[in-house]
Structure 1
Amino acid sequence: MRVSALLRALETIERHAEFVRWRAPLATSVDEPEVVFDLGVDLRPQWAADGTSPTGVRPVEAITVQFPVDYPNSPPVFRLRADFPRHLPHIQPDPLSLAPRPCLVHGSETNLFRRGGIEAMLAQLVYWLHAAAHDRLNDDPTVWQPARRDLVHDQVVLDLDQARELPKGRHTFAYQSATYTSLNKKGLPRLHRVLLGPESVQLTPKFWNGLKHAELGPAMHQGSSLAVILRPAPLPANAAFVADRYQPDAVHDIASLRVSLTDWRCNEAFDSFLAALNKELPQLEINASYPIPIALLVHVPRPRTVAGTTATTETMAYVIELPKGKGHVLAPNTPVRLAAVLEQTGPKLLQRFNQQDPARATRGWVAVGSGSLGSKIAILAAHQGRAPRFVVDPELQDPHNYARHALRPMSPEAPNSLMVAKVTAVSHEIACLQQPCEPWMSSVELAFSDPARLAKVHTLANWLLLNTTASVMVRNFLTREAHTLHLPRCAEGALFGAGRVGYLALAGPDHNPNPTELFALALQRFGERPSIAEAALSPSAQLDTIHTGLGCSSETMLVSDAAITQHAASMTTALMRLHEGDLPPTGTLWIGEQSDDSMSLTWTNEPVAPFIRVPVEVPPGGDSWMLHISSEVHARIESDVRAHPTTETGGILWGCVNEALGAILVVDVLDAPPDSERSVASFVLRTEGAKQAQQERFKRTHGALYCVGTWHSHLVPSGPSEQDREVARKIAEGGLHANALLIWTPAGYRALIADAMADPSLLPT
């Protein structure tokens, strides 16, 4: 303890306006020095003359302040006189052997001390005494303070919202199944944790004889039991009863419990239960070496919302122990143990602790991919009470997967000896968080070819489908089939460049833009930021892999578990914000870049308008092609056309080709070379500077984007001219991939394939 800090504290107390005198000198012979002083309380004149307020507060109160041994690292403790009234609200729960301690602040007294020192604590104490004298400690018009309990023995775990629905209808009591775990360790107080079950039960001999009990070890026991739930009987004329008098909960045996239950109009229901129990107990033998806990829950209606909840019902919990052996009955002096009410793990609890609104609907979604990134997003979402409803992945968990997977092995032997499906591991973890999650160990193609599974997606998981497989085949499938199969909007998450770059994309309404269009646009954005392009697209980035075994197909991306977790947290944050709110009216693209020291991420996001999709004219019997034009490209083409209203104009299309989908994706345009010729009847694309411009643009994305054709305008609505077809043939002659000739007309776009392989007559016969 710092002596200078202690002396400053005493001086601060003495300078306070309500300080009267030191009642006893500083006691330094104890472990924690303490001092007693008198503090004035502003009472009404009549109360001051009487020497006390109606609540028992005196004009001058003796205050004991205790200084911890590490003061000022820890705050001091203020205590009232030993006989100060304990029936008032906002008194800290403490053993009766200690003098009462006022609750000075909603929150942490340590934080109050950190912010304002002992002066702030003293100010709160003066305010507390004034409010106590005027009986205003529980007069907040918005909340009701829960009853104080000086000693809590046990715990009752439940879904509070569901428990408040019991008893049903006009009934005043309900019997529910329960399970328990008890800790009976020598030298420690016994502790019961009772979990409220989902089934209602009847108090029959069959029920009592069916209770199971087991010892988990020398000090731990578990088994099945009973929970009794009581609700106040209505007032005459069925008027609702409200318990509007604050009182601490001093229940300690059945006699004192009955007094409280009488105040709450629950005594008749309790007596009915007690009679039924005592009827069975003499014949019932408790085959256990320890007492069996029965939980008692009492729903007490309050005039205002109970502090810390959103309900006007305060649920009081107790535990009554059934003695081991046979021939017992419960008497008025049978002990009753106070129990804390704990909200069980579940979506609402998880949402509340993650600063999300539990009132917002939890909408189902599908996680495609349960690898390192996908498992982390799924589990992070589950911790927020918004887990995927289905997880899809065909792979088993291999030993190396545990290096970066969200889940740990189930036992020391598990990572090397047990064959566990990735989806099984993920769904089991989610189930432990009390959320339904069905594992589908299958490829996405097989999963959605099953009509029964597809129907489940339509009804139970129609909010979103998230793909984290980093598979082009999966992306192609979702692009091709999402509309036909009526899948939910698709999102994709992936990492590039050893975790330096994160990618998250959300398809638009009606699957426009789709995953393939968004990925092409992302490549364009990568190219606009050299550091990202180098990390994600350069030849060296493609070699960043780790060998995981011998032979082919034994490589994985070089990236740390920490980097995956870092990106997964950001992606989950974005997705859960949408889950709590609404999906945007457009597509969305997020790109994250890790800092040089790997300590932080910088994310950008942009809305992505629908792509314009133009069917491409192909030779008879040829493969179908579609030209996909980004809104940016469309805007630039329109701007160029407006700049040349009396002549045809044009330029070079830039993007990529997806042969599997028959898609030519255009995400950029290059201006026409300066020697190009524009006239009323034609546009001739020349070559001055074109090669250099294309090489520079090609290098930006390390070849991921390239020339995919040309465009030009027509002044009147018309299709491809013979001259256009000739140009297409010339483009096709030197092309290594399919190109397109795009024509802008006042009536819309037309397109022509420029591909030497487009003619099916070239196939050998």
Structure 2
Amino acid sequence: MVSRYVMVEKDSGKTPPHIQMLVAAILQHQRSEDHQVTERENELVLDVSWRVQLSSRDVEVGQSGTGIKRLEPVRFLIPFAFPLRPPDITLRSDFPREFVPHIYPGSPGDPVCPCIAEVGITDLMFQEGISGVLRSLQAWLDRAAQGTLMDPSQGWEPILFQNIAGSFLDDKGSFLRGVRDASLAAPTTPAFSVGWCQRETLDGRFVYVQKLSKKPFEYTKTPAIVVRAPVGQESKRFQHIDVRKREDLYLLLEHLGINGGDLTRLQKLVNDQGANGLDWLILIVVIKRPMNLIGCDHCFEILPFDCVLTINESPKAKVSPLQYIEAANPGLLQRVSHRGQRKHRSLHFIGVGSVGSKVALSLARTGNYGFHLTDNSLFRGHNLSRHAIADPASNLGFPKVVYMKNAIESTLSVECTISADDASSPTFTIPGAPDAIIESTGAAAVAANLRWIPFDAQLYQVGVYAEAELAFLSAEPRDQSRGVRVDDLEAWLFQQAFQNRAIGRLLFAENEHSRMIVGPGCSSVTTVVSDPKLSLQVSAITERLDRTLQAWPYDDDRGLAAYCVRDPKSGNLSWTSTQLGKTHSHSCKRNGLVWEVRVLDSVVSLMKECRASAGKNETGGAIIGRYDPLLQTVHVTGLVEPPAYAQAGPSLFQIDYPYLQEVDEDTLEQTANTLRVVGTWHSHIGASRPSSTDQTTFSDLSQNLGLPFPVMIVYGADGLEILSE
């Protein structure tokens, strides 16, 4: 037994201490036995005998059924550049590579290079040190000997070529779809077909875009020969063969069961292309494995090769493996985005500006949604600062929806249709029957139009305020009853801002200094905000929206309102949310006009609590709300406690007008004229029917406060009633 510590001389100097420590760590490992050290010009070679744990039935024989020995020779090639370069690990050249996965390809007679970690040996060494590398090597050899190195639940590992020379892009997944369709009858003999590829040059590399076409493109002539390997014992084994020349490629095909007359026929197909004066072709080998590939939902290993053609049919002609690139598709996007099955939802986006484009593109990348996009605005220079699409300036001046469609449908292969309609127009309609409508224009006219146009979908509204310090997400009921509308939910947000000064400073401080004109005409206005701040808030909105779309029960008749605040110091985000029940809507007349009074369910609940707390006396006070004179709508959003001097009794509640005027002035100032006193309310011990005194007070209220439509609410044993002319 040789000593476990070694000192190696190099150029009259000693081996660096850190390499000595590495060697010592390897030799001190419990599985390391006899060893030998050799010095080369740029590296240290350490050969050890590694003790492998065989299964109980193989111990007496001294090797596994596949030929893995109890003592396996392992070579560590330690570069003098260590630790900037990790050691390479190799096994004996006659290691049974055809029965073992996770091996880098090599030529017959070459040492076998095991792939001992998913992250690669460099990352493994920096993450876990040499002890982590040795643990992984030990586990790899033990599991290889016991036949458990490949986990069927993880999938089949494809051949790991180290000399990839380019890419084979499966354009829109058409090649894989063709393979799947043809797999209904798994070939027991080799199958050949010829197609064409488009050849493109990208940064000195070649990108191949496979097209299911029988004719070459007008500007290219790159034939593609597709070879389907027969399904049999060979396809259930591992072919770790390094392919660099044509003879290597034919050797790989022989290991896949393609030989004799079939191989001769294939060779003729290849040589005919060279005789036709072509310089290269693409040969695509398709292997149906016994289980799905790692990270895939199919069992087809696709191996494309770039083959240089020669007139003399030289077996030494260069062949380079290409990386098969599966085009983006909903299935692939779903697998890498989420675990488990998720629902598919169809979405209609109204507005794909800086907010809507980010939300739509992010949801598209999950693979769970189909899209229809509506936006009639054009892509302009300032949009590049925050829009999800940042294409070259040559794209400016075209509709935003055109580039969004290209990103969602052409790039991600996700269903997407578009329209450039004006969503504020009375003739605007929602095509089809989407699961949800998502409005993000920030335009009051669009929001107003969506109150009245008919549609059979759940409506969401998203917005970002105060230079992306505040974001808001609202959703009407999932049951599509529209008992709670997005304008009700927005009114709730204003009430929250009135009650919370910190939120109020963000929401009501939106003024002219946060906006700028970016084009000819005063209508060309944008908000001043950086893309990082905006993207942070929009990401939070999108994640919340995604969860809501997937999980919200269809029979829920409540609306959702949620706002997210960004801490300006830490950048942390904080959510506040609620669900509101059906809004109490009443039509009332005033000066010949019909007004809609919408009392939030939260306000009605508060009235009920106040009435119960007052006991045998009436109670009441000022009510806060928001007027929309154009649409003749008033939202009642909150209550104000009555003054201490208010008169209250079993059939009496009275407050004075100076109190109402004071509350009105304070509310207008605090909310930048967004909310104000819209009237009063009081309770009845008995029924809600207004008394003659209530009618007189209602008339006085209109004259004294100068409101466009005064609201008086009576809340009694049978609920609330609103006075009207």
Q: TM-score range by the shorter chain?
A: 0.7 to 0.9
Choose which of 51, 67, 71 in structure 2 pairs with 1:56. 67
Is the CA contact (8 Å cut-off) linking 2:91 and 2:111 kept in structure 1?
yes
Q: Which of these residues, 159, 172, 181, is aligned with residue 166 of structure 1?
A: 181
Match of 1:594 among 546, 553, 566: 566
Query: How far did residue 741 of structure 1 move?
Result: 0.9
Q: Is residue 406 of structure 1 aligned with residue 397 of structure 2?
A: no
Q: Output the amino acid matched with 1:12.
A: A
Amino acid at match of 1:77: D
- Match 1:309 to one of 277, 284, 296: 296
> What amino acid does structure 2 have at the position aligned with 1:179?
C
Mapped to 2, the partners of 1:592 and 1:424 lie a distance apart of 31
Alignment of 1:267-306 (within 5 A): 289-300=278-289, 302=290, 304-306=291-293
| Equivalent position amino acid for 1:349 in 2 | L
* Letter in structure 2 aligned against 1:474: V
Q: Which amino acid aligns with 1:315?
A: E
Structure 2 residue aligned with 1:480, among 452, 455, 472?
A: 452
**Matched residue SS, 2:349:** strand
The answer on whether the counterparts of 2:197 and 2:209 sit within 8 Å (CA) in structure 1 is yes
What's the offset of the Cα at 1:121?
A: 1.6
CA deviation after TM superposition for structure 1 residue 651, in Å: 2.0
Number of the residue aligned with 1:763: none
**2: distance between equivalents of 1:748 and 1:31?**
90
1:362-761 correspondence to structure 2 within 5 Å: 362-386=344-368, 389-411=371-393, 413-415=394-396, 419-433=397-411, 434-446=413-425, 449=428, 454=430, 456-458=431-433, 462-481=434-453, 485-509=454-478, 510-538=481-509, 541-549=511-519, 551-582=521-552, 585=556, 586-597=558-569, 600-619=571-590, 622-686=592-656, 695-733=665-703, 734-753=705-724
The residue that corresponds to 1:16 in the other structure is 29
SS in 2 for 1:67: strand
- Mapped to 2, the partners of 1:607 and 1:59 lie a distance apart of 65
Distance 2:216 2:211 in 1: 15
1:757 corresponds in structure 2 to none
Q: Whole-Å Cα distance in 1 between the matches of residues 343 and 275 of structure 2?
A: 45
SS at match of 1:39: strand
User: Could you tell me whether the CA contact under 8 Å between 2:421 and 2:428 is conserved in 1?
Assistant: no
Change (3 A) 1:728 1:345: same
- Of the structure 1 ranges 176-185 and 390-399, higher mean CA displacement relative to structure 2 is found in 176-185
1:18 and 1:505 map into 2 onto residues whose CA distance is: 62
Structure 2: distance between partners of 1:45 and 1:368: 67
Give 3-state SS (helix, strand or coil) of 2:345's partner: coil
Alpha-carbon contact 2:514-2:528 (below 8 Å) kept: yes
Q: What is the CA-CA distance between 1:444 and the residue it aligns to? A: 0.8
Q: CA deviation at 1:70?
A: 4.8
Out of 49, 56, 60, which is 1:38 matched to? Answer: 49
Structure 2 unaligned segments of length 5 or more: list them. 1-13
For residues 296-319 of structure 1, give each alpha carbon's deviation from its aligned partner in whole angstroms, at most 9, with x where no partner exists. 43333x1x44433344x2434345
Contact residue 320 and residue 336 of structure 1 kept, 8 A: yes
User: 1:299 is matched by which residue type in structure 2?
Assistant: K
Instruction: Supply the distance in 2 between the matched residues of 1:193 and 1:605 (Cα, whole angstroms).
Output: 50
Query: Is residue 127 of structure 1 aligned with residue 127 of structure 2?
Result: no
Deviations 1:531-563 (A, max 9, x none): 332233137x44322232455324322212222
Paired residue secondary structure (2:625): strand
Please give the secondary structure, in 2, of the residue aligned with 1:505: strand
Q: What is the alpha-carbon distance in structure 2 between the residues aligned to residue 60 and residue 169 of structure 1?
A: 45
SS state at 2:575 partner: strand
Q: How well do the aligned residues superpose, as a CA RMSD in angstroms?
A: 4.0
Q: Is the 8 A contact 1:293 1:320 kept in 2?
A: yes
- CA gap 1:533/1:752 in 2 versus in 1, 3 angstroms: same
> Partner of 1:193 in structure 2?
208
Cα offsets for 1:54-80 (capped at 9, x unmatched): 433333333222334553355433222
| Identical-pair percentage | 18
Give the corresponding residue for 1:180. 198
Summarize deviations over 1:125-154 as a string: whole Å, max 9, x none.
22322233333323x353443353545566
Partner of 2:495: helix, strand, or coil? helix
For 1:508, the aligned partner's letter is P
Structure 2 SS opposite 1:479: helix
Q: Quote the residue 1:758 is aligned against.
A: none
Tell me which residue corresponds to 1:762: none
- Indicate conservation of the 8 Å contact 2:200/2:206, yes or no: yes
Q: Note the C-alpha offset of 1:6.
A: 2.3
Q: CA deviation at 1:467?
A: 1.4
Structure 1's 457 and 603: CA in aligned 2 closer, same or farther, altered over 3 A?
A: farther
The letter of the residue matching 2:473 is: L
- Residue identity in the other structure for 2:435: W
Tell me, yes or no, if structure 1 residue 211 matches structure 2 residue 216. Answer: yes
CA contact (8 A) 2:104 2:240 kept: no
1:268-322 alpha-carbon deviations (Å, 9 max, x no partner): 9x959959x969996x89977532325343333x1x44433344x2434345859
Distance 1:379 1:8 in 2: 51
Instruction: Note the C-alpha offset of 1:183.
Output: 5.4
Instruction: State the Cα distance separating 1:123 from its structure 2 match.
Output: 2.3
SS of 1:495 mapped into structure 2: strand
Q: Please report how far the alpha carbon of residue 339 of structure 1 lies from its aligned counterpart in structure 2 after TM superposition.
A: 5.0
Q: 1:469 to 1:15 in 2, by over 3 A?
A: same
Does structure 1 conserve the Cα–Cα contact (< 8 Å) formed by 2:363 and 2:546?
A: yes
What SS does the corresponding residue of 1:704 show, helix, strand or coil? coil
User: Could you tell me how far apart the structure 1 residues matched to 2:386 and 2:154 are?
Assistant: 46
The answer to whether the 8 A contact 2:197-2:223 is kept is: yes
Instruction: Give the superposition deviation at 1:378.
Output: 2.3
Q: Is the 8 A contact 1:319 1:338 kept in 2?
A: yes
Alpha-carbon displacement from aligned partner over 1:662-691 (angstroms, at most 9, x marks no partner): 221122111222232333434323468655
Paired residues of 2:235 and 2:256 also in contact (CA < 8 A): no
Q: CA deviation at 1:608?
A: 1.9
